[in-house]
Amino acid sequence: MADVRLPGGVRSRAVLMGTSLAADPDLAELPEVRGDLADLATALTDGGLRCSVPADRTARALGEELEKAASQAEELLFVHYAGHGLLDARGRLFLAVPDTRLALVRWTALPFRDVRDVLLDAPAHRRLLVLDCRFNERAVAALDDPRSALAEQLAIRGVPTLVTTGAPPPVSLTRHLVDVLRADRREDRLDALLRALLRCADSPDAWTVRN
């Protein structure tokens, strides 16, 4: 899905990334991701927020979309990822793309540190991050330890971050966010997005707010 631009919201950008495909047989495909991201984009652009939806793209393509959006956003930079979240042996987080291989995760996935750096360096007045991840077992265990390397990576100064925790909930975080946004018909979609994220954060057990 290409950029969608409607009147209003021109000073803000949303990058809705996700991966539904998996070349590695040990990674499950997530066919619902593409539809969930498309619906999220519609819910945001209905009120004028400009979105790009780089689904099932390479790590380089995702990086290019992030850099472009970060350079353009003045009011809000909203970054959302849906897919597999993987930790390497050192506890570093990577976001899966279609050609990710578990045995070569450092070379075939998007390093979260790069996403983190883009958010830290972005000049936007407000920056928000959602990680709707299906985490591997190592990552799930690390999420429960506030002193873990993963917890440190997710603590991004000035960037509220909503992260899935534990086993996948019956309704994904992305789908839950879509449903909340659809129920909120206020014209100011930036305000609606902020309120929707707060409502998602209030849901017990399924996800948590970092920072």
- Kindly report the CATH number assigned to the domain that includes residue 67: 3.40.50.1460
Q: Is 130 helix (H, G, I), strand (E, B) or coil?
A: strand
> Alpha-carbon distance 162 to 185, whole Å?
22
What pLDDT shows up at residue 34?
94
Domain presence at residue 91:
yes
Q: Domain limits at 71?
A: 13-210
pLDDT digits (tens, 9 = 90+) for 129-161: 999 998 877 777 787 787 888 888 988 888 888
* pLDDT of 3: 41
Structural domains in the chain (count): 1
For residue 124, is it within any domain?
yes
39-48, 52-61, 138-147: range with lowest mean pLDDT: 138-147
- Please give the sequence-ordered ranges of beta strands (E in DSSP) within 13-141, or none if there are none: 13-18, 50-52, 76-87, 93-95, 110-111, 126-135
Pair of tokens at residue 86: 């993987």
> What pTM, to 2 d.p., does this model score?
0.87
Residue 2 included in any domain: no
* 174-197 pLDDT per residue, tens: 888 888 888 776 666 666 677 777
User: What is the three-class DSSP state of 202?
Assistant: coil
7 domain-assigned: no
* Residues contacting residue 42 through CB under 8 Å, at least 6 positions apart: none
Higher pLDDT, 56 or 171: 56
- Does pLDDT of 40 surpass 80? yes
C-alpha 137/C-alpha 109 separation (Å) is 17
**3-state class (DSSP) for residue 61:** helix
Decide which of 89 and 189 is more confident: 89
pLDDT at site 121: 95
Is residue 99 a part of any domain in this protein?
A: yes
Range ranked top by mean pLDDT from 45-54, 114-123, 143-152: 114-123
